[in-house]
Structure 1
């Protein structure tokens, strides 16, 4: 019975997407706004704010020291996140690195969901702008395990609708339209999601991180939301980032 329900729901999802088809379009007003924001992304202010916030902890030099790399090598190193950080003995995202750095410097770590944390993460990732994503999921046992877990999270159907990330991002449905939005290829041949988040979301009028976007998708699909920074959420970011390997980082991104 569960299998039948899952098949029916998946078929309904695909049908809904196909019916929308070529009908998808932003309004002329939204198109004009999008074009304007491409020239002046509002999240540039967030990135500048993040740089200032990081400066209270010593800026780029302190971040490089915390990560055990030279400041010259920092952009390339950041382009490999999420990664196993020996100092933390875990596969971590940039936000968790920032939290640990704050604690080491005697500051109370910002919550992962806070606006200031989003700003700092956006700035830190922007340090790697124009660098190709170079995540190495085979670098060590920890990264291999994170990739495997991320793939499982991406493909496992959950919730009453029996949906997974793969339900909207499998090769056979990419390009269809759901809820007025095209379902994108997340990898380097598509929108290179990992290379363009954190991004300014027009529909939210705010800066969001990739993990926060994952949570939005889960909410929309009526799935239990995986916590930011949890092993499962970081692993999902690892898996999706690997899809964008080779794509040039461009932060902040701009999303509808």
Structure 2
């Protein structure tokens, strides 16, 4: 497949970000620009948004920072599209993309904390760290859920199917990511085993893929809430209101409640899917 299926795309992704990302990638194919360069540029956009939000802070700077952070979603999609269009998709590139995302947003959170420190003191750093760690955990759950579903339903592999592809620091980070994903998405292990065992039986594999697609709406609903799109808008609104304080609080509290609900729901969805798969063997 050349792009993500509809059920994996929220409204903004489907109508704005992904079409724009594909157009950008198409423009970049004949150039020397590599997917990794696009990933690094995306991280630079996030850092620039942080500078405008935290260290400039005028209404115009906040508006430009918000726009840059929204445009980052286009660039964040373009690196993967460019990799696929140019035949350069690889687990290593997937790791680079993830590292740029995490490092860019780590810098953003540190800058926001430094700005908030001026008004509420050291508690700002506690809030920022709590929100940042929460974001990382929530994002691992959301993204690994989507990637796992895409493998079940469409046969698109990810680093979980090639754990040893990345080496060095990138490989270590990939293994750390997979360890966190395994803890959060432990409910998917049984389905993963059934999918892997069906690879030698095309008819059975197609049957499991169909059942996975039928379960998609329920399986993907909460990961969509914990994705990057809602956060970018929440942060922009919080900054327009004058401070990142409410963004940090929501991320460290309400979204963690959503995460717990998502893990519990995923267990129920996976039990149901295993049961449906087993019925075909009766």
Q: Does TM, normalized by the shorter one, top 0.5?
A: no
Could you state the TM-score of these two structures normalised by the residue count of structure 1? 0.31
Q: Which structure's residues are more often helix, by fraction?
A: 2
Could you state the TM-score of these two structures normalised by the residue count of structure 2? 0.29
Which structure's CA Rg is the greater one?
A: 2
Structure showing greater relative contact order (alpha-carbon pairs closer than 8 Å, 6 or more residues apart): 1
Q: Which structure's residues are more often strand, by fraction?
A: 1
